[in-house]
Amino acid sequence: MDKKRLALPYVIWASIFVVVPVLIIVYYSFFDKGIFTLQGYKQVLNPRYLGNIMDSIGIAFISTVICLVLAYPLAMILSSKEMSAKGIILLLVILPMWMNSLLRTYAWGYLLQDTGVVNSLLSSMGLPTMQFLYKKSAIVFGNVYNFFPFMVLPIYNVLCKIDKNVIEASYDLGADKFTTFKRIILPLSMPGVITGIVMVFMPALTTFLVSRLLGGGKTTLLGDLIEQQFNKTGDWAFGSALSVILMIIILITLVFMSKKDSFDKGGGLF
């Protein structure tokens, strides 16, 4: 009973700042100036906007896959006990998180622009300069850069928690290194992988910062689209409908991911 009462402030906080706003958005997605309408949702079906949604999902997906492919080997190396520079590398992974992501993304914009540092270096080496910015690949790059630590840390945490004896037991029973990875290490690290996927996919899907600064507004993502409806066109019904759809996509992803995570050993962050 006492413990429940301690949770009360958080319940009030969450109600006022999470539940009520969500309900307001759901309301606005169905009502325009007090009149019930499905106009917002109809607009979503416009091929142009559907394309934006698919772009968002696609870019978020590719960013997540790249993060996973880069992060897993790094997490494995970091979690092996022979690794002596472990602390330094881990620090390097976490260090960017201490800085505001807006600043970091701005910095990349300057580094990668047509007359930026990277291109100056290229031309000074006699190599042709390239256009880096204002492409989907630039957004993917920004996402990977910004969200990489969120993939490394949960996987690293889970790998560290795997009992070394269990891995030795696998070798002992005749499994070589590859089989041990496939049948023991990978399944046991799934909670961390799933946490990492969720932690990268969600912000990558909803970002409008990265697409604005590195994509130069040429690629409109779900986040940009929503922001435009509220700040520029004032079409609150459409903006709210998009928000509701975004929430549904996120919920579906979470349900799907938590189903995959049947072996519940705790993924470090959830």
Partner 1 sequence: MKETKQQTEPIINLVNISKTFDDGAQILKDINMYIRRNEFLTLLGPSGCGKTTLLRIIGGFEEASSGEVLFEGSNIAKLPPYKRRINTVFQKYALFPHMTVGENIAFGLQIKKVDQKTIDEKVAQMLELVNLKGFQDRRIESLSGGQQQRIAIARAVVNEPEVLLLDEPLGALDLKLRKGMQMELKKIQQKLGITFIYVTHDQEEALTMSDTIAVMNEGRVQQIGTPVDIYNEPKNAFVADFIGESNILQATMIKDYLVSFHGVDFVCVDTGFGENVAVDVVIRPEDIRIVKEEEGMLKGTVESVTFKGVHYEMMVKSNNYTWAVHSTAMAPVGAKVGMVLTPEDIHIMKRG
Binding site for partner 1 (CB under 8 A): 163, 165-166, 168-176, 179, 183-184, 187-188, 263, 265
Q: Which is nearer to partner 1, 26 or 162 (CB)?
A: 162
74 vs 4: CA distance, rounded Å: 41
Q: Which is nearer to partner 1, 42 or 183 (CB)?
A: 183
Residue appearing with tokens 């046991």: 188
26 vs 86: CA distance, rounded Å: 47
Closest approach of Cβ 84 to partner 1, in Å? 11
The region, left, alpha or beta by phi > 0 then psi within -120 to 50, assigned to residue 97 is alpha
Closest approach of Cβ 265 to partner 1, in Å? 7
Residue appearing with tokens 């917002």: 40
Closest approach of Cβ 204 to partner 1, in Å? 29
Q: Which is nearer to partner 1, 118 or 160 (CB)?
A: 160
Q: Which is nearer to partner 1, 66 or 167 (CB)?
A: 167
Q: Which is nearer to partner 1, 29 or 157 (CB)?
A: 157
Q: Which is nearer to partner 1, 188 or 205 (CB)?
A: 188
Closest approach of Cβ 187 to partner 1, in Å? 5
Closest approach of Cβ 109 to partner 1, in Å? 44
Angle of the 236-260 helix axis to the 47-79 helix axis, nearest 10: 40
Q: Which helix (H) or strand (E) holds 89?
A: helix 86-94
Contact status, residue 163 vs residue 81, Cβ threshold 8 Å: no
Closest approach of Cβ 263 to partner 1, in Å? 5
139 vs 63: CA distance, rounded Å: 9
Query: Which residues, 6+ apart, have CB-to-CB distance to 86 below 8 Å?
Result: 78
